[in-house]
Chain A
Amino acid sequence: MFPILEKRRLNDAMTLMVVEAPFIAKKAKAGQFIILRVNETGERIPLTIADYDREKGTVTIIFQKVGKTTLLLDTLNVGDAILDFIGPLGKASELEGYKRVAVIGGGAGCAIAYPQAKALHALGAKVDMIAGFRNKDIVILEDEMRAASDNLIIMTDDGSNGNKGFVTDALKKQIEAGADYDLVVAIGPLIMMKVVCDLTKQYNIKTIISMNPIMIDGTGMCGGCRLTVGGKTKFACVDGPDFDGHEVDFDEAMLRLRTYRDQEAEETREFNCRLMEGAKNA
């Protein structure tokens, strides 16, 4: 069992948890992830390691409530424990040797992009952080992102923070204004990463993305997370999750991510109904 030491609601949809997991905290590196299972009947889901404290033996995760398991996880509080918490999994990001980098986060993806920005910044790169949200009310980790970068640009779809547009708009503007990036890191929904890659390809800027396919074991034994990268089959859990974005078959990845969409929607509906029942009976 892995005790929850801290829980913070970042916005209506996103929650941060600090979990006691000393073995993982000791080894974790930016870009790696954990697999967790909330309870005995639960499924195994992957979540990126958003932060860690080797001294305190803690690992921080940030998750968006998108379905049954994340809703269930969100019902746990400080003092509760997560049944299984496995990691650190995947390869650490290769971030050394870059001079000027744009790190792009989309929505919940900012939780994963932010430790990358932090690591790059610590390695001496000049970091522009571009973060995209639907509106200003759901912006997360603003202080953290600001501290981890030289320049933070927050974009909102509706312009409610005065900066209307997509992350690609900001990236294009930066490039055209003369920002000579030798690397772009993009993390967020598949469609966002795809459009970023389409853009950076035009400028021939190396682009690393963090893939988020369906996973079960996360150790390379099932291939559920397989992707086509440069025409070859790769397992995101062991070969990634970071890949060269210009090589990834996004269309296939988007179709595969929808494999269980109907079943997931059903489970989520049932879970929400039970939560409502519980609230009524309470």
Chain B
Amino acid sequence: MPNMEPKKTPMPEQAPDVRNKNFKEVALGYTAEMALNEAKRCLNCKTAPCMKGCPVNVHIPDFIRSIVDGDLEKAHDIITATNSLPAICGRVCPQETQCESKCVRGIKNEPVAIGRLERYVADWYMDGHEKKREAAAPNGHKVAVVGSGPAGLTCAGDLAALGYSVTVYEALHAPGGVLMYGIPEFRLPKAIVQKEVDHLVEAGVDVQPDMVIGKVLSIDELLEMGYEAIFVGTGAGLPRFMNIPGEGLVGVYSANEFLTRINLMKAYQDGYDTPIIRPKNVAVVGGGNVAMDAARSALRLGAEHVYIVYRRAEEQMPARREEIHHAKEEGVIFKLLNNPVAIHGDENGRVTSIECVEMELGEPDASGRRRPIVKAGSNYELPVDCVIMAIGNSPNPLIRSTTEGLEANDHGCLIVNEETLQTTREAVYAGGDTVTGAATVILAMGEGKKAAAAIHSYISSK
């Protein structure tokens, strides 16, 4: 008999006033009992609408069935047959707009907690149940993947499983892309990212860090080196600034810099050499997940007041509801319908305040969102010693500017064939944020998967 409880089995988490002072993971994960209880809420629908919401087509009812049967190894095999990074997806996917949005149980009540169950299975596997992976029998073909973020890792994992000799080139010293430098430890522990990468290495993927493609080797040189196809998954890592006065002051960070210092360089930990400003009062400009991550990180560095300054209303915020909720619980103050116009500093060039104006919402614009309009004369100053700009990223121009014939659109996103993800160059494929602009981890993984299939069919038919 299925469990007809209307709500999801709650997942234990650290209390807000405890967790906002440490970088440990907020959500603690299900126990075996909780997982079984939640797994029993799945009706095991024949049509499995949930699967249509998953960009990497995890066989959701099947793996949940295996949890009910007590066969976690099988559950893990089912998930990893289509998803190379389950411990990551279970944590950072916006399930509410993906798999769980299609769940039949969600029509009247809360959907099955698919993400939490996926995470449970992946964590169980990593917790002493790992099997030594064997690399697939080599098929004699070489493929290079540029960028080791979610798109690149997924593409590499799928190709290695088909027997390709895959080399992943990463510019930073650690693989993982945004999973390593962007998403904070308290949402996605770095040890888990490392383990997922280790699993791929076991499966035969060669990861080469410290290699800035476009500088140390060009795409054309990679082709000359005998790679038969290349997947470009270099993301959208070029931070935008607002171009308002005072952005050059000391204490103004891009969210990328602030988060890279914390996550990749571990500036918050004793014994690591990278410094970071430990601000008292912080304004984070923006309303996406990156803004929430930066605000919550600032609290954990010991800030007394952390403000989210966002020019629209809460309903228009692109961040996940769960992240907004977590940020509020932890004490982040939301200054909605507010927009910065200048940043002010002292004689040492350090930030002293951010000057904002109040906004009101006008008619919907081309994107369908109501356009914010400045309320005349509403200027005021918010005293802060740190400003973090989290207003979005664009694709880094390095690859396209060093590769002839590789075309991009006006936003700097690489142009691809939507079916095959082939770029305007033969044998060169691209996917993830470098094509779509800043989006989600799971969409990038979906594209990595699609590109792997396209590369396989391209090389097989040569």
Contact = CB atoms under 8 A, between A and B. Distances in A.
B211 interface: yes
Interface in B129-143: none
Interface string B265-300: 110000111110100000000000000000000000
Nearest to B272: A41
Interface stretch (A84-92, A146-154, A156-164, A190-198): A84-92
Contacts of A203: none
A88 B260 contact: no
B217 interface: yes
A88 B265 contact: no
Interface in A77-115: 83-89
Interface stretch (B97-105, B247-255, B319-327): B247-255
Interface string A30-58: 00000001000111100000000000000
A41, A221, A223, A263: which has the most chain B beta carbons within 10 Å? A221
A42 B273 contact: yes
A10 B265 CA distance: 31
Nearest to A224: B257
B337 to A, nearest CB: 27
A128 B261 CA distance: 42
Nearest to A67: B273
B171 A222 contact: no
A233 B238 contact: no
Residue among A89, A217, A226, A252 with the highest chain B CB neighbour number at 10 A: A217
Interface stretch (A170-178, A181-189, A253-261): A253-261
Contact of A255 (B237, B273, B275, B348): B348
Contacts of A263: 275
A41 B273 contact: yes
A23 B216 contact: yes
Contacts of A85: 210
A24 interface: yes
Nearest to A32: B215
Contact of B273 (A88, A258, A267): A267
A222 B216 contact: no
Task: Identify the interface centre among B210, B237, B257, B397: most chain A CB within 10 Å of its CB.
Answer: B210
A41 B271 contact: yes
B243 A259 contact: no
Contact of B277 (A68, A252, A259): A259
Nearest to A225: B257
Nearest to A83: B173
B273 A68 contact: yes
A41 B275 CA distance: 12
Q: Looking at chain B, what size class is its interface with the partner chain?
A: 35 or more
A249 interface: yes
B172 interface: yes
Given A43-B265, A219-B398, A255-B348, A86 B260 contact: no
A68 to B, nearest CB: 6
Nearest to B210: A86
The A contact surface, by secondary structure, is: mixed
A27 interface: yes
B265 A87 contact: no
Contact of A221 (B217, B237, B271, B275): B237
B256 A87 contact: no
Contacts of B253: 224
A84 B210 contact: yes
B382 interface: no
A90 to B, nearest CB: 9
A132 to B, nearest CB: 27
B398 A216 contact: no
Interface string B229-241: 0000000011101
B238 A220 contact: yes
B248 A223 contact: no
Contacts of A42: 273
A44 B261 CA distance: 10
B349 interface: yes
Contact of A86 (B212, B238, B265, B275): B212
A264 interface: yes
B400 to A, nearest CB: 13
Contacts of A86: 171, 173, 210-212
Given A41-B271, A68-B273, A222-B254, A27 B215 contact: yes
A220 B396 contact: yes
Contacts of B275: 43, 260, 263-264, 267
A205 interface: no
A225 B212 CA distance: 18
B247 A37 contact: no
A69 interface: yes
Q: Which 9 A-B pairs have the closest CB atoms?
A: A255-B349, A222-B257, A221-B237, A43-B273, A260-B275, A263-B275, A43-B274, A84-B173, A223-B254
21 contacts: A24-B216, A41-B266, A44-B265, A88-B215, A216-B260, A217-B171, A217-B172, A217-B260, A220-B238, A220-B397, A221-B260, A222-B254, A224-B257, A226-B241, A226-B248, A228-B248, A255-B249, A255-B250, A255-B349, A256-B248, A260-B277
Given A220-B237, A252-B248, A258-B348, 18 more contacts: A23-B217, A27-B215, A41-B273, A69-B273, A87-B215, A88-B216, A216-B257, A216-B265, A219-B396, A219-B398, A221-B239, A222-B257, A222-B260, A223-B239, A223-B257, A224-B257, A255-B349, A259-B250
